[in-house]
Amino acid sequence: MIVLDRIPLKRIWPFAWKRLLILLVFDCTVAVIYSVFHHHWISLNGLPVAPLASALTIFLAFRTNAAYGRWWEARSLWGSLINTSRALGRQFLTMIDDEPIAEGKMPIRKELVLNQIAFAHALRCHLRKQTPFPELACVLGEEATARLRSYANVPAAILLTIGNLLREAHSKGLIDTFRWTAIDENLTGLANIQGACERIKNTPLPRQFDYLPRVLVDVFCWLLPLAIVEDLGLMTPLASTLISFTFIAADLMSREIANPFDNTIHDTPMTALSRTIELNLREQMQNDQRPLPQPIPWPQLRDVQPVDGFVF
């Protein structure tokens, strides 16, 4: 996610320069043919450029709105994930009763919180098509991670593990049915968040929304110099290229934000958000009123800061 108050030109330029260069050559050709060789037939002065530009703007606005809708939904879903994770952490730590301390065995409530942390990391990696296992090995341990390797959908497998741990707690009498039901509602909320994120990831913007504006921008940019050459003469390339650049930049930008889980600068900052979840839940565990005889190893973690104005 971009947290700068401006978008550097160098972020747009590499994707726009080829189209602009071709247009500039065409604009110069048109200007020279009209002004130097006096082939006035090339001018399309009657072309209604302003209404065309307005129609094109409407198309671009539709696409930008649709793309922004996807981006914002992705961000909202991760906001919900943070809230649900905090709520679950609180429920795990306060609703599950004490159990007899066994040597080398972690209490179920702490195991549940660690699985919740692992879920956030696993969902991020699942959406970015990245392996989560090096991180999970640190959070859950090698043995639990090895069990998860057999699953294609690791976040769903972690939710299943949490469900199994709750069943175990219920069978040991550490939690009654009412509390189990309350916690399970939040687990269903997590499954819904995962499903919604997968929907955004796997369903592209409708091709009509994506393709048509691009074609129309190109058509407009090619027609523009023919329409303005009679008025501007040799200055046509300057005006035409500037106007073309604004449309091409708008076209590129709206396309970039349409895929919020692609590990680019326009991404939902899932690394920072999953780090927030981990820090919050570890803090809850650390300040638990029923501390462990052996503290859980805590990696050196800090909030993720923007790098060059971009936070991932």
Partner 1 sequence: MLERTRHIVFATNFSDACHSAIPAVARWVDQLQCRLTILHVYDSRRELYRDAQSRLQSFFAEADNYTNCERLLLAGEPAAAIAGFCENMRDTLLLLPPSDQAGLPRPWHRSLRAQLIARLPIPIWTLGRTSVGEPLLAVANHLAAFVSNPEEGTSHIRYGARYAAATNSTLHLIHVIPNVDEGSLTHTLRSRAPLGEEYAEAWMQEITASIEPAAKIELHMEQGSVRRLLPQLFQRTGADMLLVSRQTACEPQWLLGPVVNPIFRRVNAGILSVHLIPEITPFTKLGTLNPGFARAS
Closest contact distance (angstroms) between CB of 62 and partner 1 is 25
Closest contact distance (angstroms) between CB of 311 and partner 1 is 8
Interacting positions 135-164 with partner 1 (CB under 8 A) = 135, 137-139
Instruction: Locate all alpha helices (DSSP H) within 96-176, ordered by sequence.
Output: 108-127, 133-140, 142-148, 154-171
Spatial CB neighbours of 87, under 8 Å, sequence gap ≥ 6? 186
Closest contact distance (angstroms) between CB of 201 and partner 1 is 11
* Dist. CA 85–CA 150, nearest whole Å: 25
Stretch that binds partner 1, among 153-161, 180-188, 207-215, 260-268 (CB under 8 A): 260-268
Spatial CB neighbours of 280, under 8 Å, sequence gap ≥ 6? 82, 85, 86, 89
Angle, vertex CA 57, rays to CA 56 and CA 58, nearest 5: 90
Site size toward partner 1 (CB under 8 A) is 38
**What is the chain's length?**
312
Spatial CB neighbours of 219, under 8 Å, sequence gap ≥ 6? none
22 binds partner 1 (CB under 8 A): no
The answer to whether 71 touches 205, Cβ cutoff 8 Å, is: no
279 binds partner 1 (CB under 8 A): no
275 binds partner 1 (CB under 8 A): yes
Q: Which is nearer to partner 1, 111 or 135 (CB)?
A: 135
Q: Which is nearer to partner 1, 14 or 293 (CB)?
A: 14
263 binds partner 1 (CB under 8 A): yes
Stretch that binds partner 1, among 33-41, 75-83, 126-134, 227-235 (CB under 8 A): 126-134
User: Which of 13, 22, 39, 208: binder of partner 1 (CB under 8 A)?
Assistant: 13
